Amino acid sequence: MKKLAQIVFIAMVACISTSAVAQKSIQDVLRDMESSNRAMQLEMELSRLRMQQSEAETARRYSEIERLRMLNESQEAANRAREAVERAAAEQAEAAKKAEKAAEELRQEIALAAVRTKNNIYLGCLLLFTGGFVAYVIRKSKKEKVMQESEKFGVVMIVVSALVMLLAVMISDNWIYQFDFLNNLMSTLQIRLFADEDKYNAYHIDVPTKYVVLACICVAAYGFMAYVGIAPAPKKKAPKPENVDTEKSS
């Protein structure tokens, strides 16, 4: 009986010990499960936070992309507006240049027309004077069958001086077509003949045309005065007496 009580006691102690160990194991398992649960909750919280952070980063990036897109669109709009303004300014400048060029061409055309008109006036006066003088000579030659020596001398001087004047004008350099004949004659025309090979742009004969024309006009005026009898014409030398005697004997 006593042994049975001891066995029962030992069994009870073993059961109690096993129960305590099992309870401790259960508590450890529960504690581990609770730790795991907390770790999982913490991991889930961290995941949620990372997701929120990722969403915030995505939203930030999207807003940055939108801002850049809007900025790019605004820059493109500004560039298009600037290009349109520059194009309009260029077209306006081109139109102004064309208008200025047309106005310049019109001014040149008007100036050339004025030059042609003046040259026609000069030519008309010259032809009128020449025609009048020729008509006067013809009418006087009809009245007087034989021309006097002074008249012949005057006509020759006028014709020669006119031809020399025409030749001087024809061989003159430095014509400026924007100037009329008188302005060219008084300011630019030069007679240049026989270039000097030792010097650059040098000539042996380099005379303003106006001086040659003035000399021809003076000679023509003297011839005209000799023709009308105002100025004396050079007289021919008297024949030698020997010639006179020979003529008388013949």
**pLDDT, tens digit, for every residue of 187-236?**
888 888 777 777 776 777 788 888 988 999 999 888 888 887 887 767 66
pLDDT, average across residues 32-39: 80
Q: Per-residue pLDDT for 95 more than 80?
A: yes
Q: Per-residue pLDDT for 97 more than 80?
A: yes
What stretches of 144-173 show up as alpha helix (H) in DSSP?
149-170
Is residue 75, in this structure, part of any structural domain at all? no
Lowest mean pLDDT among 41-45, 159-163, 193-197: 193-197
Model pLDDT, residue 241: 52
Model pLDDT, residue 248: 46
Is residue 76, in this structure, part of any structural domain at all? no
pLDDT, average across residues 137-157: 78
Is residue 58, in this structure, part of any structural domain at all? no
Q: Which residues pair with 206 in a beta bridge?
A: 192
Q: In this structure, what are the phi and psi dihedrals at residue 188, rounded to the nearest 5 degrees?
A: -120, -30
The residue among 180, 168, 191 whose CA lies nearest residue 125 is 180
Q: Which residues pair with 207 in a beta bridge?
A: 191
Model pLDDT, residue 249: 47
Helix (H), strand (E) at residue 83: helix 2-143
Q: What single-letter amino acid sits at 222?
A: Y
Helix (H), strand (E) at residue 195: strand 190-195
Q: Per-residue pLDDT for 186 more than 50?
A: yes
Higher-pLDDT residue of 153, 5: 153
CA distances from 9 to 4, 15, 17, 23 (A): 8, 10, 12, 20
Pull the structure tokens for residue 250. 């013949």
Distance in angstroms (rounded) separating the CA atoms of residues 107 and 44: 91
Model pLDDT, residue 247: 47
Q: Per-residue pLDDT for 244 more than 50?
A: no
Helix (H), strand (E) at residue 241: helix 241-249
Q: Residue 237: which domain range?
A: 146-244
Distance in angstroms (rounded) separating the CA atoms of residues 124 and 131: 10
Is residue 208, in this structure, part of any structural domain at all? yes
Model pLDDT, residue 250: 42
Model pLDDT, residue 1: 63
In contact, 137 and 223? CB cutoff 8 Å: no
Model pLDDT, residue 111: 82
- How many domains does the chain divide into? 1
pLDDT, average across residues 31-48: 82
Is residue 237, in this structure, part of any structural domain at all? yes
CA dihedral sign of residues 79, 82, 86, 92: positive
Lowest mean pLDDT among 21-35, 169-183, 212-226: 21-35
Q: What single-letter amino acid sits at 20?
A: A
pLDDT, average across residues 47-54: 85
Model pLDDT, residue 218: 92
Model pLDDT, residue 124: 86
**Strand 172-173 to 203-208 pairing:** unpaired
pLDDT digits (tens, 9 = 90+) for 116-145: 888 888 888 888 888 887 887 788 777 766
Distance in angstroms (rounded) separating the CA atoms of residues 100 and 106: 10
The residue among 52, 227, 58 whose CA lies nearest residue 150 is 227
Is residue 161, in this structure, part of any structural domain at all? yes
Q: Over the chain, what is the mean pLDDT?
A: 80
